[in-house]
Amino acid sequence: GAVVSQHPSRVICKSGTSVKIECRSLDFQATTMFWYRQFPKQSLMLMATSNEGSKATYEQGVEKDKFLINHASLTLSTLTVTSAHPEDSSFYICSTMTVNEQFFGPGTRLTVL
Amino acid sequence: QKEVEQNSGPLSVPEGAIASLNCTYSDRGSQSFFWYRQYSGKSPELIMFIYSNGDKEDGRFTAQLNKASQYVSLLIRDSQPSDSATYLCAVNRKSSGNTGKLIFGQGTTLQVKP
């Protein structure tokens, strides 16, 4: 399957700062990447679909101005959480898709103090 | 009604037994179905997928799909303590303009006791 990396794996920041999370497809050119968020004891919730060379598609209820997504190349998508607040603390996971399967990155644990 | 529903559990089985995990979905347009395993603090890893009605076997795992009943299940034979994890059911609706969008259930926690 596809190999996906994320950086950083863990980040702690102060309220009001912005945090950038990188998602890389290491062995596969990904025209589409997905960004998920998972709160403790809850399932994965799709935040947005990242499309190489075009604007991301956001799910209902996800603020596009707060969660900035850039997919500038076939191997890299970034998610920037702007002006992060404690309620944004969560596990952020990206994935890439081959023909019919999605492969997930290892996730980024964000803690906003 | 949630689009994808699972019993959150925990489901507890003894080592060596068969664990049966169930999932129902609401959208009849759903086309493909996935089972992921997620260990605490880790991201999900794909166990298997199924598209057609019936059974699909892969080692100790068997996925069963019944589209008429909108039901998909995962059987784990000879359960091992290392199988203890949360199992996520995911459905691909291929909604318009968004190929590959997965909708996840809340997951079932499985505990395999030695």
pLDDT at B13 over 70: yes
CB-closest option in B46, B101, B106 to A101:
B46
Instruction: Measure CA B104 to chain center.
Output: 9
Across the interface, do B106 and A100 touch by the CB < 8 Å criterion? no
CB-closest option in A42, A57, A104 to B98:
A57
Helix (H) or strand (E) holding B107: none
**Window from A7-11, B48-52, B76-80, B92-96 with minimum mean pLDDT:** B92-96
Instruction: Give residue for tokens 């945090």.
Output: A19
Q: According to the model, what pLDDT value does residue B75 have?
A: 98
The pairing of strands A10-13 and A108-112 is parallel
Contact B13, B111 (CB under 8 A): yes
d(CA B72, CA B61): 13
- B5 to chain A: nearest residue by CA? A43
Q: According to the model, what pLDDT value does residue B99 have?
A: 58
Q: Which tens digit of pLDDT belongs to each residue from B32-47?
A: 899 999 999 999 999 9
Tokens of A46: 């799709």
User: In Å, how far is A103's CA from the nearest CA of chain B?
Assistant: 7
> At residue A26, what is the residue type?
L
Q: Which tens digit of pLDDT belongs to each residue from B89-104?
A: 999 876 544 456 788 9
d(CA B18, CA B90): 21
CA atoms within 13 A on the CB side of B82: 2
Tokens of A37: 């968020």
